[in-house]
């Protein structure tokens, strides 16, 4: 039985929540890992205390992040059976191995002298490009700046630092960029039960333009990003962020909207690449559901 004494309050925990909200910690993977480490720390610093309110507060910082929920729920479901740090390392080790597999599957699609597009900043996509570079391939990546917070610059910085050739453009150049590209690689915040994928605003624009030009679109995502909801239900969670990020002082009569995410329809996606391999969206969903992948680490079938 958990004690009913007042719940812990920590400055570091407030900072963690604030940093996730302010996108100082961004991208589904980074958010999930930071939340997981936060919950493990709460448990270890406050043994026996009820941390439910903190967990709720943390999960509410990014409602569109199933990987954060799945990782935290997995930790809490097993925390009474396994010692905190061991369990944390066990989960992180599992996620790392899965991400290495995703990189390996996707890097095989990168050809020498190829030209590719991505949008926003996905650590999974960046890791895949770095893996392809480590295989000795030379290629160019178009990055879009991703208004209003310019996460595309982060992608450009990381790729360029690794010696990959980068062309950086405004978001509205996506169609022009695609004329030279042979594939698009996107990250994901959520893989949904009807095969749609939630990702940064602009992702479907890029994917749809690519589909119309018959350019393959690949989504790279750890299976723990699966959310067992159809898009209708998930749509209500999509965040609208502070309009001031777009235009701090708009004139009277102008309503500024700052949509942060959108759903990519399944038919424009050539393949979803998880640790299980490359599959069409509907097959990937069936596979993730049948394995209940987001609830298991030690699955002998993997």
Give the one residue of 120, 178, 273, 285 binding ligand RUB; rule: CB under 6 A: 120
Q: Which positions from 189 through 218 interact with ligand RUB, judged by CB under 6 A?
A: 189, 199-200
SS3 167: strand
What is the closest distance, in whole angstroms, from the C-beta atom of residue 32 to ligand RUB in the complex? 8
250 Cβ neighbours under 8 A, 6+ residues apart = 243, 256
Among 288, 283, 285, smallest CA distance to 302 is for 288
Q: Does 92 bind ligand RUB (CB under 6 A)?
A: no
Task: Give least dist CB 133 to ligand RUB, A.
Answer: 17
Provide, rounded to whole angstroms, the least separation between the CB of residue 237 and ligand RUB. Answer: 14
Select the residue interacting with ligand RUB from 13, 29, 268, 270 (CB under 6 A).
Answer: 29
When the beta carbons of 43 and 119 are compared against ligand RUB, the nearer one is 119
Min dist. Cβ of residue 92 to ligand RUB (A): 14
Q: Give yes or no for residue 34 binding ligand RUB (CB under 6 A).
A: no
- Residue 144 CA to residue 248 CA, distance in Å, equals 22
- How far is the C-alpha of 264 from the C-alpha of 268, rounded, in Å? 7
151 binds ligand RUB (CB under 6 A): yes
Q: Give the helix/strand (H/E) hosting 97.
A: helix 84-107
Tell whether residue 123 is a contact of ligand RUB (CB under 6 A). yes
Tell whether residue 223 is a contact of ligand RUB (CB under 6 A): no
Q: Residue 119: enclosing H or E segment and its boundaries? A: strand 114-119
Closer residue to ligand RUB (CB): 23 or 256: 23
Nearer to ligand RUB, 51 or 174 (CB): 174
Residues contacting ligand RUB: total by CB under 6 A: 17
The active-site residue, picked from 10, 189, 194, 242, is 189
Output the CA torsion sign for 106, 130, 118, 294.
positive
Instruction: Confirm whether 14 is a catalytic residue.
Output: no
156 binds ligand RUB per the rule CB under 6 A: no
Q: Which stretch binds ligand RUB (CB under 6 A): 115-123, 174-182, 264-272, 275-283?
A: 115-123
Interface segment toward ligand RUB; rule CB under 6 A; list 27-35, 39-47, 177-185, 270-278: 27-35
- Binding positions for ligand RUB, rule: CB under 6 A: 23, 26-30, 120-124, 151, 187-189, 199-200
- Active-site positions read 189
């Amino acid at each position: 039985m958990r004690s009913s004494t007042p719940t812990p309050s920590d400055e570091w925990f407030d900072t963690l929540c604030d940093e996730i909200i302010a996108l100082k910690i961004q991208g589904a993977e980074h958010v999930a890992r930071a939340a997981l480490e936060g919950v493990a720390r709460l448990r270890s610093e406050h043994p026996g205390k009820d941390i439910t309110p903190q967990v709720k507060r943390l999960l509410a910082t990014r409602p569109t992040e199933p990987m954060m929920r799945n990782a935290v729920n997995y930790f809490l479901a097993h925390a009474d059976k396994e010692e905190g740090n061991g369990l944390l390392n066990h989960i992180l080790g599992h996620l790392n191995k899965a991400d290495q597999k995703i990189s390996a599957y996707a890097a095989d699609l990168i050809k020498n002298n190829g030209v590719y597009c991505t949008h926003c900043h996905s650590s999974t996509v960046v890791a895949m490009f770095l893996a392809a570079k480590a295989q000795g391939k030379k290629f160019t990546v178009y990055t879009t700046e991703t208004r209003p917070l310019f996460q595309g610059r982060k992608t450009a910085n990381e790729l360029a630092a690794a010696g990959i050739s980068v062309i950086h453009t405004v978001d509205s150049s996506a169609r022009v960029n695609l004329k030279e590209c042979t594939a698009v690689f996107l990250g994901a915040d959520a893989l949904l039960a009807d095969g749609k994928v939630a990702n940064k605003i602009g992702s479907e624009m890029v994917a749809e333009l690519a589909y119309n030009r018959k350019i393959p679109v690949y989504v790279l995502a750890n299976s723990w990003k699966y959310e067992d909801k159809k898009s209708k239900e998930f749509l209500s969670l999509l965040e609208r962020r502070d309009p001031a990020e777009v235009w701090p002082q708009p004139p009277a009569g102008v309503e500024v909207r700052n949509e942060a995410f959108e759903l990519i329809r399944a038919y424009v996606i050539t393949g979803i690449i998880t640790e299980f391999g490359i599959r069409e969206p509907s097959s990937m969903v069936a596979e993730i559901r049948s394995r209940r992948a987001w609830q298991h680490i030690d699955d002998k079938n993997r």
